[in-house]
Amino acid sequence: MTREIPVIYVISDALGETAEFVSRASAAQFSGVRTRIRMVPHVRDEAHIDEILDEAVQDNAILAYTLVLNNLRHYLEVKATEKGLRTVDILGPLMKLLSEETGLEPSNIPNITHRLDETYFRKVEAIEFAVKYDDGKDPRGVLFADVVLIGVSRTSKTPLSMYLAHKGIKAANIPLVPEVAPPQELFEVSPRKVVGLTLRPDHLNEIRTARLRTLGLGASADYASLERIMEELEYARGIMRKVGCPILDATGKAVEETAALILEILYKGERNV
């Protein structure tokens, strides 16, 4: 039987992503409960809070909020108590603890994590780079990349490139196929910024077989055969040895784990230059 819990009002002076994530993660712990979440972003004054609370009373809502301005947090708490509404302050307690630990006062700037700063623009640039130079579409990207990922098909080159891009790292990736010679640019860059990716043959077989099924193709296709996979992996290792780059076995690793190893390799390479 599905039960319905009160509406959760996510109130924020920014987009409310943090409070929404916490609200959904919390509600997901209750099997068979249908959650209703109402987003109320960009709350900047007391008048807006009054409007929200009048509506929240009608829904008997729970208020989950991320407000960095002390006066708005205090006002919301007082008015919500007067109306008998329950509240959850997502940011306040941790900000208070950090202030006590550091001896510093928070800046109390709404939406500070989304400000258009140098880090933000670097991330956007890196994402655009990863899309433009994905899957060897333009080998010239190898010359301008922070890291070049090489490997056979389905070794997570694209997901890793996008993950690294969100860290501000410009990643290009090149597929290694026996029938296609790798671009000359791959041998013109420092091997310190090239990383070879590989998987165990049986694991790669499972991934490719599943991929064929999603495409509505038979699992017996040459693409997923162990014989073909062994041939590709052997060819790829030969190219990696020729380049002189480190080789990572990503079998059983999440994208985040493999990315952390790649960043470690890049960091060590920079220190050894």
- E runs forming strands in the chain: 3-4, 8-12, 33-34, 37-40, 62-66, 86-89, 147-151, 171-175, 194-198, 247-249
For residue 152, say whether it is annotated as part of any ligand binding site: yes
For residue 151, say whether it is annotated as part of any ligand binding site: yes
Structure tokens at 262: 């790649």
- Residue pair 37/134 in contact (Cβ under 8 Å)? The answer is no
Cα(273)–Cα(268) distance, integer angstroms: 9
Nearest residue to 79 via CA among 96, 94, 57: 57
- Other C-beta atoms closer than 10 Å to the C-beta of 87 total 18
How many C-alpha atoms does 233 have within 13 Å on its Cβ side?
A: 21
- Other C-beta atoms closer than 10 Å to the C-beta of 178 total 14
For residue 153, say whether it is annotated as part of any ligand binding site: yes
For residue 23, say whether it is annotated as part of any ligand binding site: no
- Residue pair 68/106 in contact (Cβ under 8 Å)? The answer is yes
H-assigned helices in 41-117:
46-59, 70-82, 92-102
For residue 154, say whether it is annotated as part of any ligand binding site: yes
For residue 156, say whether it is annotated as part of any ligand binding site: yes
Matching residue, tokens 């249908």: 34
Cα(187)–Cα(273) distance, integer angstroms: 18
Residue ranges of the annotated binding site are: 151-158
Binding residues for ADP: 151-158
